[in-house]
Amino acid sequence: MVLSLYVILFLALHLLPGMKSSMINVNNNGYDGIVIAINPSVPEDEKLIQNIKEMVSEASTYLFHATKRRLYFRNVSILIPMTWKSKPEYVMPKQESYDQADVIVANPYLKYGDDPYTLQYGQCGEKGQYIHFTPNFLLTNNLPIYGSRGRVFVHEWAHLRWGIFDEYNVDRPFYISRRNTIEATRCSTHITGTNVVFKGCQGGSCVTRPCRRDSLTGLYEANCTFIPNESQTAKDSIMFMQSLNSVTEFCTAETHNTEAPNLQNKMCDHRSTWDVIVKSDDFQKAPPMTGTDPPPHPTFSLLKTKQRVVCLVLDKSGSMNSEDRLFRMNQAVELYLIQIIEKGSLVGLVTFESVATIQNNLIKITDENAYEEIRAKLPRAADGGTSICRGLTAGFQAITHSDQSTSGSEIVLLTDGEDNQISSCFEEVKQSGAIIHTIALGPAAAKELETLSNMTGGYRFFANKDINGLTDAFSRISSRSGSITQQAIQLESKALSITGKKWINGTVPVDSTVGNDTFFVVTWTIQKPEILLQDPKGRRYNTSDFKEDKLNIRTARLQIPGIAETGTWSYHLLNKQASSQELTVTMTTRARSSTTLPVTATAHMSRSTTHYPNPVIVYAHVSQGLLPVLGVNVTAIIESENGHQVKLELWDNGAGADTVKNDGIYSRYFTDFHGNGRYSLKVHAQAKKKPARLSLRQQRNKALYIPGYVENGKIIVNPPRPEVKEDMAEAEVEDFSRLTSGESFTVSGAPPAGSLTHAFPPVKIKDLEATVKGDQIQLSWTAPGKVLDKGKANSYIIRISKHFQDLQEDFDNATLVNTSSLTPKEAGSIEVFEFKPEPFKIENGTKIYIAIQAIHETNLASEVSNIAQAIKFIPPQEASVPALGTKTSATSLAILGLAVALSIF
């Protein structure tokens, strides 16, 4: 099919790499389309809106100067929740929604935690997910702690928009420099201050003492704190301490601290934040503005979320007769109407082939009668051609006939057919303001469907051979208002092939965060099976308890009375007939109560399109509210158009594709391409037998909490931030199960299935650590794979030097370590290796840098790892300490000979 220039333009604009739909664009140096959304649980407060406006206005000027007159904020939409009162100045949103917002305003999950942060887990230079501000941060005076809110916004914007990272490190606040000094982890090193231990504070007064060196690490003791001087001359860096009045710039190549053990150096190969920023797409579109005038003030639109309006636009063309597609579609739509869509929503139904028919204008979902009215109009037969545009137009009409605006309404478009006329209604779609979710059923579905989703901020799904693919896709299309306790959650979604006269058994855990509005559904292909379901207390539900669908779409459903029992539910299915058949089991539920935040899982790919041999990363985020859930078994199931399925275990180990260990983000590279076209993604997250943990630690990628400042030699302290005690930092989570669909992605340029060559090297090692043990150095790291993070590497190359730059700039000529006794382990394993660093002699004061490469069997080499540092240092009998109030940025060390374990990113 030949695409028109209009279609190609939209593909170029909208099918760009990215993990989250955003409406932001750069136009004449100004950012347009920014969405700041307030969570429905936030109490109404006019001051909140006013402070958001002031923050963005201040940030715009600060950003303009920080980017050297390139970028500022021009147009910002503030999305008001439906729970707030209506006002004349509030207008109706279009595609703007809470779930797709760039900035969210929401209460923290716990009573503490007002640090602004950005949910960011992509690679260097990749955009983040969203910025989170708490109402308390926006409504109270935080100036001494974080600096002005406008400066904080720019710090977080840099995370979100340009994919750069913090230049401090709360886990490694100090490091030993090349000059043998203890330095605070920061950029730039021109920022001065003093290092103290707080012995006790009362009111605004504290007793402090100078920091002592730790006898094991050679660094300062664990509770040593860097206190910056209030008066500074350093202009950088915004990603370290934007609160300082002098700081107005990002670190450049000239001022960047390549040694600091921070996430910026780890993730961006020691490049400065400015170097990453200037290579971003935003900067390519924004040359410096001429003149000396400041940028114009931002303009704000106040949008109020409306009642949810959804119109189902379903294909009933002749091709829907094949592979039981019409039945499968009806089964999935029924599940969506009864179990997924929120009560009170308005739902319409349109069917189309060569022509389109409005089966139902909008009906409010209040009770079973409303479901039945829509279900009764589901198509019983398939015939005719495919006209997607006519279906969409009828969908818009069904919405407007019910006195609702298409702006902000949702269309769920399902089709399995080709249609070379889709581009003819692109302008109508764009003008409608509607959000279009697309479900491509089978490999022949129109290739332009994703364009409709991308241009309107909708979801895109692909369902193929996997019989559960359609129900999984529909289950993902829940409200995007931010009301998480109202959204449906999938606990189980399993396709079962069962032979004649055989039983099949399974279990599903129901945890204490869910249990309301719980359904257990069984579908079949030939004959209804015998069904037995048992709750954790032994109560049984038999086949007669299940309600069979009146439309004969081979579905039996049980709604669990009241709140489902917490614990393990078991099910048993008997295929009563002689031949084999396919069965499916689906279990959905909602939060146990409006005040109980459920454990949730979301999934997506790092890119919506990829061209071979570029790999993509699978991401799954498991959380309860805004807190990460750790120790979960997470499996991605990826299916290609030819029906080939790949199961991939995702990891939260801080190695390979994973950015940070133990942050609730599970990830892995995907390289098992089987041909071109669409691929579907489903993720199963479960905690069974192995306890998961809820992390109560503060988020990363955030504005640094400043404990105080030094003014005229005196320390002025800020109120201490609430901290979680180490023994209370994690809470055990009971067994749970979650299934979720990620959006589809598209592959091009891949070789035919079966002829795939290994074009990918082992992944870069990012967590190399070194320790001196006697006259030897012990290394540890997470093993990469043969192909990125899969399989086993063939060998390792380890090189050492006494100079950091030798390894950073000329790795191949540094001293080689004998690794003949080192056999690589399976990817994800912990490697440990000891060696004698010949020709260097380890003695008091020895400092050695080490780096490593992994080699593929076809001699494809990984990037050079992070550079680890090993020091032998023995403190003097009575360690000297710096005087209180020292104005210098570091304290010199005498290198005398203690083994020190360090890792420089």
- Helix (H) / strand (E) element for 62: namely helix 46-66
Instruction: Give the span between the Cα atoms of 20 and 623, in whole angstroms.
Output: 17
Tokens of 879: 């360690």
Q: Are 19 and 127 in contact (CB under 8 A)?
A: yes
Residue 248's Cα: distance from chain center in Å? 29
- Summarised one tens digit per residue, pLDDT across range 834-863 is 999 988 877 766 788 999 999 998 778 999
Q: How far apart are CA 239 and CA 161, in angstroms?
A: 13
Tokens 């570091």: give the residue.
890
Cβ neighbours of residue 210 closer than 8 Å, sequence gap 6 or more:
195, 196, 197, 881, 882, 883, 884
Residue 762 in tokens = 């082992």
Token pair 């990984």 is found at: 862
- pLDDT tens digit sequence for 531-543: 999 999 999 999 9
Q: Count other Cβ atoms within 10 Å, centred on residue 719.
A: 12
pLDDT for position 111 = 57
Does residue 882 have a pLDDT over 50? Answer: no
CA-to-CA separations, 901 to 845, 850, 878, in angstroms, rounded: 14, 12, 22
Say which residues have a Cβ less than 8 Å from residue 861's Cβ, sequence separation at least 6. 761, 762, 797, 853, 854, 855
Sole residue written with tokens 């370590």: 817
Is the CA virtual torsion 753, 758, 759, 764 positive or negative? Answer: positive
Of 180-184, 314-318, 816-820, 844-848, the one with minimum mean pLDDT is 844-848
Beta pairing, strands 633-640 & 677-687? antiparallel
Of all residues in the chain, what percent carry a pLDDT higher than 90?
Answer: 71
Dihedral class, residue 112 (left if φ above 0, else alpha if ψ from -120 to 50, else beta): beta
Tell me the pLDDT of the chain averaged across its residues.
88
Average pLDDT over residues 367-395: 93
Closest CA to 522 of 500, 502, 542: 542
Q: Which of 717, 822, 721 is nearest to 780 (CA)?
A: 822
Mean pLDDT calculated for residue range 218-244: 93
Contacts of 259 (CB under 8 A, 6+ apart): 175, 177, 178, 183, 265, 804, 904
The rounded Cα 758 to chain-centroid distance in angstroms is 28
593, 733 contact by CB (below 8 A)? no
Look-up: residue for tokens 């379903």? 314
Amino acid at 78: I
The tally of CA atoms less than 13 A away on the side-chain side of residue 400 is 11
Whether the predicted pLDDT of 386 surpasses 70: yes
Please state the rounded mean pLDDT for residues 369-380.
91
540-542 vs 581-591, strand pairing mode:
unpaired
Which residues have a catalytic role annotated? 156
Which region holds residue 165: left if phi is over 0, alpha if psi is between -120 and 50, else beta? beta
Question: Residue 199 above 50 pLDDT?
Answer: yes
Considering only CA atoms, give the Rg of the chain.
29
The whole-angstrom separation of Cα 288 and Cα 68 is 7
- The residues with which 588 forms a beta bridge, in sequence order, are 490, 519
- The DSSP call for residue 422 is G
**What percentage of the chain reaches a pLDDT higher than 70?**
91
Taking 50 as the threshold, does the pLDDT of residue 888 lie above it?
no
pLDDT of residue 7: 34
DSSP 485-550: GGS-EEEEEEEEEE-TT-EEEEEEEE-TTEEEEEEEEEEESSSPPEEEEE-TTS-EEEGGGSEEPT
DSSP string covering 604-655: EES-SEEETT--EEEEEEEEETTEEEES-EEEEEEEETT--EEEEEEB-SSS
pTM: 0.90
* Contact yes or no for 504/573 (Cβ under 8 A): yes
Using the predicted structure, report yes or no on whether residue 884 has a pLDDT greater than 60. Answer: no
Q: CA-CA distance, 131 to 118, in Å (whole number)?
A: 4
SS (H, E, C) 834-852: EECCCCCCCCCCCEEEEEE
DSSP state string for 539-562:
-EEEGGGSEEPTT-SSEEEEEPSS
Sign of the C-alpha dihedral computed for residues 454, 455, 459 and 461 taken in this order: negative
Here the tokens at position 230 are 């209030």
**Contact (CB, 8 A) for 146 and 703:** yes
Identify the three-state secondary structure at position 298.
Answer: coil
The pLDDT-based confidence of 200 (bands split at 50, 70, 90) is: confident
Q: What is the mean pLDDT of residues 46-57?
A: 97
Q: What 3-state DSSP class applies to 482? A: coil
Q: What is the mean pLDDT of residues 146-165?
A: 96
Q: What is the pLDDT of residues 412-471, one digit of tens each?
A: 999 999 998 999 999 999 999 999 999 999 999 999 999 999 999 999 999 987 788 999
User: What would the pLDDT profile of 771-806 be if each residue is shown by its tens digit?
Assistant: 888 888 999 999 999 999 999 999 999 999 988 888
- Give the total residue count for the chain: 905
* Residue 380, C-beta contacts closer than 8 angstroms, at least 6 positions apart: 551
Average pLDDT over residues 876-901: 37
What domains can be seen in the chain, in order of their start residue?
14-166+280-304 (no CATH), 193-228+708-729 (no CATH), 307-481 (3.40.50.410), 769-872 (2.60.40.10)
Phi, psi (deg, nearest 5) at residue 438: -115, 140
Do the beta carbons of residue 668 and residue 656 sit within 8 Å?
A: yes
Identify the pLDDT of residue 874: 66
Torsion of CA 18, 20, 22, 24, to 10 degrees: -40
Cα–Cα distance between 56 and 79 in angstroms, integer?
Answer: 15
Instruction: Please identify which residue in the block is written with the tokens 């439906």.
Output: 82
Beta strand pairing call for 867-872 and 847-855? antiparallel
Amino acid code (one letter) for 3 = L
pLDDT value at residue 877: 55
Alpha carbons 400 and 422: distance in angstroms, whole number: 22
Report d(CA 115, CA 142) in Å as an integer: 10
Strands 633-640 and 645-650 turn out to be antiparallel
The helix/strand/coil state of 865 is: coil
Nearest partner of 130 among 138, 139, 121, judged by Cα: 121
Question: What region, left, alpha or beta, does residue 270 occupy, with left being phi > 0 and alpha being psi -120 to 50 degrees?
Answer: left
pLDDT beyond 80 at 592: yes
Q: Which two tokens stand for residue 42?
A: 């936030």
Q: How far apart are CA 489 and CA 602, in angstroms?
A: 11
Q: Which among 45, 550, 65 is positioned nearest to 293, based on CA atoms?
A: 65
154 closest CA partner among 228, 58, 231 = 58
